[in-house]
Amino acid sequence: MSTFLFLLLIAAMIATVVVLVRGLAAFLLNASADARGDGDPNVPNDSAIKSNKMMQYRIFFQAIAIFIIVLILFIGSSKS
């Protein structure tokens, strides 16, 4: 059971890092478009929406990872 939880934890941590990198890349694309003055500043472009969505996914995967850590600690403390 604990091996399964550790594998889930690693998967959640990898997912968090992947989504973080994708979100940062989308953010940098948005920032460079803003610096060039492309588009209407009051209307979010596609890269801004993608960056926002990726950061929401990052928070979701971080919450899952924290929940798994709490679960592992709870199971470990109940065994001793």
Per-residue model confidence (pLDDT) at position 59: 96
- Helix, strand, or coil (residue 43): coil
Nearest to 28 by CA among 51, 59, 53: 51
Report pLDDT digits (tens) over 15-53.
Answer: 999 999 998 988 888 777 666 666 666 777 777 788 889
Per-residue model confidence (pLDDT) at position 35: 65
Question: What is the Cα–Cα distance from 15 to 78, expressed in whole angstroms?
Answer: 29
pLDDT at residue 61 greater than cutoff 90: yes
Q: What are the residue ranges of helices labelled H in the chain?
A: 2-36, 46-79
Q: Tell me the pTM.
A: 0.79
Identity of the residue numbered 68: I
